[in-house]
């Protein structure tokens, strides 16, 4: 009788020489790669230290406390040349945030409008939107910044003959000057009233939704919301006796005094970044809307929803899922592209760090600070967007 091997009895694993064992090999490869990377790092650091000591360049972050000595064109926080490098870099970082946030708002508004216009049934509107997208996204952003800067400083009138589109607003080569309300203690309370109004609206909105789900009737939302957000602060404003004094820009002998200034550098950067990124956002929006199956619209119509509700309740929530991840990328690109401000002279992070680098010669530290801050901005924007993305994702599709 022949004996068969019993398949149920586990046979011994095949004997493999260690150099043929995949997991051993994997570790060997990894150790080798890690070793190479470390060797390269040690080599570069060693060279750098040698070079630094040869050129007698200081190391360390002590320079951050030293006096910067350069003047910044504009800043959100008060800054003087006698302030430290650290404060200058902080002011630059805040300027980056300012242009990034305002740019994101501009590119979203323009991008959504152009994206929808690209899908318009109106031939003229659709073609114009196409021309916009194809032109702006195919020209380097740096060139567009130079272009806007040249338009503002080259074709706008001198401050003496500034355009006055509105009372208290002056547009000229040196930017936009506009009136600002004089600070008043009432402003704090108006701000608080606005905040209260917004929070109350959120709660009221939730109540409206619950009512609708329970009773099938939808209480009015828009009127009360407007009343809370606009009316409440306005009542507070009136309650304080309507304190409204304007700090008007006044033309002196050579230049304006008073008012708030928007510099041409900021304006060029903001318009340039906003309009350039809007072309990409428009394509994302168009793609997102096209990605929603036409059947969804038809089904919603068959259920008796009005056109506006079809868009708001059926198409947009589905389109947003497609739109959000690539839009985040565009926001990130805009923030990173704000580093091109160095070319038009807007004092943001890159430009301030570059000046610091040139004055102190401490390239390694300066570039490390710059990269670390950009990395932190990028990671926090993409992190925040990931959270939001998870919130709007269809729950049962995981």
Binding interface with other proteins (CB under 8 A): 26, 29-30, 33-34, 37, 44, 47-48, 50-52, 54, 120-125, 128, 134-135, 137-143, 146-147, 150-151, 154-155, 336-337, 339-340, 342-343, 350, 354, 357, 363-364, 367, 370-371, 374-375, 378-379
Region of 69 on the Ramachandran plot (φ > 0 left; ψ -120 to 50 alpha; else beta): left
Q: Which residue's CB is nearer to other proteins, number 232 or number 370?
A: 370
Q: Which residue's CB is nearer to other proteins, number 20 or number 82?
A: 20
Q: Which residue's CB is nearer to other proteins, number 30 or number 212?
A: 30
* Cβ-based neighbours of 349, under 8 Å, separated by 6 or more: 89, 92, 93, 95, 96, 339, 370, 373, 374
Distance CA 375, CA 358 (A): 22
Q: Which residue's CB is nearer to other proteins, number 43 or number 203?
A: 43
116: buried, middle or exposed (CB in 10 Å: 19+, 13-18, 0-12)?
middle
Q: Which residue's CB is nearer to other proteins, number 179 or number 342?
A: 342
E strand map for the chain? 169-172, 175-178, 180-181, 246-247, 250-251, 256-257, 260-262
Q: Which residue's CB is nearer to other proteins, number 75 or number 335?
A: 335
Q: Which residue's CB is nearer to other proteins, number 94 or number 364?
A: 364
Distance CA 355, CA 349 (A): 10
Distance CA 236, CA 88 (A): 38
Minimum Å gap between C-beta 366 and other proteins is 8
Q: Which of 95, 58, 96, 45 is nearest to 366 (CA)?
A: 58
Minimum Å gap between C-beta 50 and other proteins is 6
Q: Which residue's CB is nearer to other proteins, number 34 or number 183?
A: 34
Distance CA 54, CA 45 (A): 14
Minimum Å gap between C-beta 195 and other proteins is 33
Q: What angle do CA 125, 131, 135 make, to 5 degrees?
A: 150
Distance CA 228, CA 194 (A): 8
Minimum Å gap between C-beta 42 and other proteins is 12
Minimum Å gap between C-beta 279 and other proteins is 12
Are 258 and 247 in contact, with CB atoms under 8 Å apart? yes
Minimum Å gap between C-beta 155 and other proteins is 8
Distance CA 277, CA 105 (A): 11
Minimum Å gap between C-beta 384 and other proteins is 14
Are 303 and 295 in contact, with CB atoms under 8 Å apart? no
Q: Which residue's CB is nearer to other proteins, number 47 or number 257?
A: 47
Minimum Å gap between C-beta 143 and other proteins is 6
Minimum Å gap between C-beta 30 and other proteins is 4
First to last CA, the chain: 56
SS3 257: strand
């Amino acid at each position: 009788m022949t004996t068969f091997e019993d398949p149920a009895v586990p046979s011994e694993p095949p004997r493999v020489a260690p150099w043929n064992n995949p997991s051993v090999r994997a570790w060997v490869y990894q150790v080798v790669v890690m070793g190479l990377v470390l060797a390269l790092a040690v080599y570069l650091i060693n060279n750098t230290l040698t070079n630094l000591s040869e050129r007698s360049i200081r190391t360390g972050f002590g320079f951050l406390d030293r006096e910067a000595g350069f003047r910044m064109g504009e800043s959100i926080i008060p800054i003087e040349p006698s302030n430290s490098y650290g404060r200058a870099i902080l002011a630059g970082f805040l300027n980056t945030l300012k242009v990034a946030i305002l740019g994101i708002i501009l590119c979203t508004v323009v991008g959504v409008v152009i994206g929808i216009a690209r899908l318009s049934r109106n031939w003229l509107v659709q073609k114009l939107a196409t021309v916009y997208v194809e032109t702006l996204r195919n020209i380097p952003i740096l060139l567009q910044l130079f272009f806007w800067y040249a338009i503002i400083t080259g074709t706008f009138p001198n401050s003496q003959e500034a355009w006055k589109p509105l009372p208290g607003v002056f547009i000229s080569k040196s930017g936009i000057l506009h009136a600002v309300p004089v600070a008043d203690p009432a402003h704090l309370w108006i701000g608080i009233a606005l905040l209260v109004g917004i929070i109350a609206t959120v709660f009221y909105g939730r109540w409206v939704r619950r009512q609708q789900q329970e009773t099938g009737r939808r209480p009015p939302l828009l009127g009360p919301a407007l009343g809370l957000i606009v009316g409440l602060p306005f009542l507070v404003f009136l309650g304080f006796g309507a304190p409204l004094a304007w700090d008007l820009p006044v033309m002196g002998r050579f230049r304006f005094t008073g008012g708030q200034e928007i510099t041409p550098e900021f304006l060029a950067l903001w318009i340039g970044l906003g309009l350039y990124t809007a072309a990409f956002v428009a394509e994302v929006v168009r793609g997102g809307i096209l990605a929603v199956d036409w059947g969804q619209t038809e089904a919603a119509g068959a259920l008796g929803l009005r056109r506006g509700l079809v868009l708001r309740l059926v198409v947009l929530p589905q389109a947003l899922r497609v739109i959000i991840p690539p839009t985040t990328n565009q926001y990130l690109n805009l923030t990173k592209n704000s580093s091109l401000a160095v070319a038009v002279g807007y004092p943001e992070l890159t430009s301030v760090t570059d000046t610091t680098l040139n004055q102190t010669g401490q390239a390694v530290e300066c570039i490390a600070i710059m990269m670390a801050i950009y990395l932190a901005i990028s990671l926090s924007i993409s992190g925040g967007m990931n959270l939001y993305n998870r919130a709007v994702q269809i729950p049962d599709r995981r």
